A and B are shown apart, each in its own frame.
Chain A
Amino acid sequence: MPELATPPRAVPALAIERLSYAYSSATRPASDPHLGLDAGRVLHDVSLTLAPGEFAVLAGRSASGKTTLLRAACGLVPHFHGGEIEGSVEVAGIDAIAAGPGELASVVGYVAQDPETQIVSTTVAAEIALPLEMRGDAPASRARAVEEVALALAIPQLLDRTVDTLSGGELQRVALAAALVTRPKLVLLDEPTSQLDPVAGDELIWLLRRLNEEWGVSILLAEHRLERCLAAADRVIAMSSGAIGFDGAPSDFLAWAQSNDTALETPAARLFSLSGLEPLPTGVRQARQTLSAATPPLGRVAGGWGGLQRSGVNFSPENHPRTAATSPGEKSSKPETPPTARQDPPAATVRALWVELGEADVLRGIDLTIRRGERVALMGRNGAGKSTLLRTLAGLVDPVRGRAEAAAGIALLTQSPGDYLVRERVADELPGDAGRAALRSVGLEHAVEADPRDLSGGERQRLALAIALAGRTEGAELPGLVALDEPTRGMDRARRCGLEQLIEGLAGRGAGVVVATHDVEFAAAFAARVVLLGDGVVIADGGAAEVLSGGWYFATEVARILDLPGVVTPEQGVAALIDAEAGR
């Protein structure tokens, strides 16, 4: 009987063996307390293999080495960035260290953190077609590929636009289209949802999953907002100080994060871990399934913990910090607007505001008042008019009708933090005691001697915030309104917590704080009020818990799981679960 032929072993999409890397002194990022590496090593003895068709999420705090690992996988490290490298990197069987990014272009697509840095053409169609042109595809083949990828990413209407007319989210999609158009075997993405609204972010993740399933593309996705992508992933690789801290299934990762780094926990996992429920859910669907397995389901009837336990769900209420939790009806742990501040003139007054950019009405008859001491999240889809509203308040844009005033002054951090960084040393940007105080307020006092350009994305953002606030973090100079436009891009949860504290501090001292953000979890954590813009008009304006639990996309993960009015944070969720148990 003839022996059956052994099927050839598939070549891994990515095979990294004992990779260590240090940037050259000129390009090395500033030291970070989280890095803690010897001799400036950004990657330390990293080994991993990504099988064809695998979807892996690369988790980790800011400056843990995620971006560098992605750069090594596409050949930019060391070919473009220099530095010292040890070990081996193979992409679809090609030696990436020997070949470099050009040779890898046909097998790997890379989408960087900031899409503005990776757009090289004038029009969208030319940008997407460029990789095909470089490899010499015929015009007809290029046209078809461009059309198909544009359809897949829902951007066919953008093809004739010039790239300088696109929003951040649109640029992100165009960059992704350019990375996908050659149908690479491996796609590397560095925080691709950081500039996308919740709708577009969710769509992008599921689009990646679809491409992964239907085209067999392997995906390595670095992301801070893990709640968005864990449910779609086959595997999670967690970086910690330049090394791999965890490599395994998403559900195992959540257990690892619970005991090793709670900053990497998702809100759903935190809800479950605070409640002692198991298994920790990787997404809304799994969480709801677990909860609905309780008979009767939670929140609809008083089945409570007993019901959960009877259904086999492991629950141990004695382990739960009820005292730390708040229920929807209780006073929130977030400080309320200072009562005295309410009597002050408003921090911002917007009346019948119309703003036109180009030939489009971006804001259409907005009315809004922001009080001193108030913490407001300004939300909405990409292009809804959030940034324009903030820029108009800061006097950078003139309204065509109506008015927008910040009578007691405004400090605005725009979306491009790099624009605030002018000098070559952090201390030169922020001299003196006031400068040091501003650095301390954003947790960057350790980077005084660093070159701002060498800081990580999240660090640059914090430095820009410090520059916008310099001299205003204390005392009478505090502006009536502090406005931050997408300040959490590139920030891990730990850093976001620091920003929340900063916002609380500013609001506590009497500044109205308005933050344009796509990050619903961040909004739920810091805001007392959420204003939702849609196509230039206010479509919702109310308490954060009310607005963020009343929808689907603009709702937190906990709100989507529990679907209870006013329950948006894990702590509130725990309280709701305990109330359900008490009512049983």
Chain B
Amino acid sequence: MRSPFAYTPRRGPLQAASPGAAVAYLGAFVAVAFLYSSPLVLAAAGLGAALAGRFAGAGGAVRVALRMGLTLALLIVAVNALVVDRGETVLLRLGELPLLGEVNVTAEALAAGATIGLRAAVAMVAFAVYSACVDPDRVLRALRPVARRSALTAALISRLVPVAAADASRLREASRLRGPAAAPLGRAALARRLLTGSLDRAVDVAATLELRGYSLQPPNPPRSIAAFSTQGWGKGSKRRSRYDRRFYLTGAVVLLAAIAGKLLGADGFHAYPTIELDPTPATLAVSALAILAGLAPMRRPAGRRNA
């Protein structure tokens, strides 16, 4: 079965954009998530990334990433509530627990955990959209000028996630087929195997890249191409995509607005000692912008394109 995170060629602006533009655009959502603690802004960044995936045709990847991200967020909330002994609003007194000592679950610790969890979920959704929409072949080619001497680095960057996604479903299947006397497999063992297996596969890919001549000096691009592209020798990257400007611009606007908002106090949230959520107009503006940015991968209607 094909992984939802596997790249699928589609005729969409995000797929047509160069890897750099796509990374700048999707990276802006992640940057917002790591700059802000306000649940409002975090939720908006998550919604923006999800919309981006939806409009880029990667709805399946977004759904799976949301499921995984929210599961992880819940786990973080639970762990944070148990191990962080801060906050004034005690919701539950669990008493003395082994290793943890006296545990009081506070609303503040839950809120702080939710913030961290939301942040992780936003990053996962953005990465899922990247994985499903950005052609790894183009990433590989784009990396050649900077990672020519390290095919392994290039293979890890461009192939680790697609390979891991493909391996995961096969490993799950194989784990169902083990004999009764074989060592039982937990999620941790599978995850470790997935990571090591993906690294091994990336090493194999790197070996193949070496055999294909990846480490050779890249040829000089024709002068007319070199004038506006650093990667003009590769297939599909002879010229910039007409969508690049859109994604670079959107990413830059979101990032600059987020930084400006942060300076203007848009991140009006504190979990401790008591929860303080102070949504200012700047908070709302940054949130709205993050959501609107998710519309960037939309295609213009045919009539307007022809106009």
A286 within 8 A of B: no
User: Is B214 a contact partner of A102 (Cβ separation < 8 A)?
Assistant: yes
Decide yes or no: A420 and B211 within 8 Å by CB, A105-B216, A429-B182 being known contacts.
no
Does B235 interact with chain A (Cβ within 8 Å)?
yes
Residue A135 interfacial (CB < 8 Å): yes
Q: Contact at A414–B181, with CB atoms within 8 Å? A: no
Asked whether A394 and B212 contact (CB < 8 A) given A122-B136, A164-B166, A422-B190, the answer is no
Count of chain B residues near A, Cβ 8 A: 54
> Shortest distance in angstroms between B239's beta carbon and chain A's nearest beta carbon?
13
Q: A531 near B: Cβ within 8 Å?
A: no
Least CB distance from A570 to B in Å reads 35
Cβ of B179 and Cβ of A438 under 8 Å apart? Answer: yes
Closest to B238 in A: A139
Q: Tell me if A121 is interfacial: C-beta within 8 Å of chain B.
A: yes
| Minimum CB–CB distance for B45 against chain A, Å | 29
Contact check, A101 vs B9: say whether CB atoms are below 8 A apart: no
Q: Which residue of A lies closest to B141 (CB)?
A: A133
Among B141, B179, B211, find the residue whose CB has the most chain A CB atoms closer than 10 A. Answer: B211
Q: Which residues on the B side are within 8 Å of A432 (C-beta)?
A: 181
- Which of A75, A101, A106, A109 has the most chain B CB atoms inside 10 A of its CB? A101
Q: A122-B137, A422-B189 are in contact. Are A434 and B181 (CB under 8 A)?
A: yes
Task: Check B208 against A120 for contact (C-beta < 8 Å).
Answer: yes
* Interchain CB contact under 8 A, A122 and B135: yes
Residues of A within 8 A of B7 (CB): 122
Question: For residue B193, which residues in chain A have a CB less than 8 angstroms away from its CB?
Answer: 421-423
Contact A430 B177 (CB under 8 A): no
Of A124-132, A201-209, A219-227, A252-260, the stretch lying at the interface with chain B is A124-132
Q: In the complex, how many angstroms separate the beta carbon of B1 from the nearest chain A beta carbon?
A: 9
Write the nearest CB–CB distance from A24 to chain B, whole angstroms: 14
CB-nearest residue of chain A to B140: A120
- Does B302 sit at the interface, judged by CB under 8 A? no
Contact status A472-B180, CB under 8 Å: yes
- Chain A CB count within 10 A is highest, among B167, B201, B216, for B216
Please report the total number of A residues contacting B with Cβ < 8 Å: 62
Q: Does A291 contact B (CB under 8 A)?
A: no
A106 touches B213 (CB 8 A): yes
B174 within 8 A of A: yes
Query: Are B179 and A472 in touch, CB under 8 angstroms?
Result: yes
Binary interface encoding of chain B residues 1-21 relative to chain A, with 1 for a CB under 8 A from any of its CBs, else 0: 010001111000000000000
Smallest beta-carbon distance A413→chain B, Å: 8
**Number of cross-chain contacts by CB at 8 Å:** 159
- Find the B residue at minimum CB distance from A188: B211
**Mask: chain B, 162-189; 1 = CB below 8 Å from A; 0 = not:** 0000110011011111111111010001
Answer whether residue B276 sits at the interface, using C-beta atoms and an 8 A cutoff.
no
In the bound assembly, the distance between CA atoms of A470 and B166 in angstroms comes to 26
Question: Is A487 on the interface with B (CB-CB < 8 A)?
Answer: no
| Residue-wise interface mask of B (194-210) relative to A, using a CB-CB cutoff of 8 A (1 in contact, 0 not) | 00110011001111111
Residue among B137, B215, B235 making CB contact with A102, cutoff 8 Å = B215
Pair A102/B210 contact, Cβ less than 8 Å: yes
A430 to B166, CA, bound (A): 26
Q: In the complex, what residues of B have CB within 8 A of residue A429's CB?
A: 182-183
The interface residues of chain B lying within 8 Å CB-to-CB of A89 are none
**CA of A126 to CA of B235, assembled, Å:** 8
Chain B hits for A431, CB < 8 A: 181, 183
Q: Which residue of B lies closest to A135 (CB)?
A: B213
Contact B180 A477 (CB under 8 A): yes
**Contact assessment for B183 and A423 in the assembled complex, using a CB-CB cutoff below 8 Å:** yes
A468 contacts the other chain (Cβ, under 8 Å)? Answer: yes
B210 touches A101 (CB 8 A): yes
Chain A proximity of B135: nearest CB distance (Å): 6
Given the complex, which residues of A lie within 8 Å of B207, measured CB to CB?
76, 80, 101, 118
| Interface, chain A (partner B; CB < 8 A) | 74-76, 79-80, 100-103, 105-106, 109-110, 112, 117-123, 126, 129-131, 133-136, 139, 162, 164, 178, 394, 396, 411-414, 416, 418-423, 428-432, 434-435, 438, 453, 467-472, 477
Starting from the known contacts A129-B235, A468-B177, 17 additional A-B residue pairs (CB-CB under 8 Å) come to A102-B210, A105-B212, A106-B213, A112-B208, A118-B204, A118-B208, A120-B205, A133-B141, A162-B9, A414-B170, A419-B174, A420-B178, A423-B183, A423-B189, A431-B183, A438-B182, A470-B182
Q: What are 28 residue pairs bridging A and B, where the CB atoms are less than 8 Å apart in the complex? A: A74-B211, A79-B210, A117-B208, A118-B208, A119-B208, A120-B159, A120-B209, A122-B135, A131-B213, A133-B141, A133-B235, A134-B216, A135-B216, A136-B233, A164-B166, A178-B212, A419-B167, A420-B177, A420-B178, A420-B182, A423-B193, A430-B182, A438-B179, A469-B179, A470-B181, A471-B180, A471-B182, A472-B179
What 8 pairs between A and B have smallest CB-CB spacing? A136-B219, A471-B181, A470-B179, A105-B213, A434-B181, A102-B215, A419-B174, A134-B213
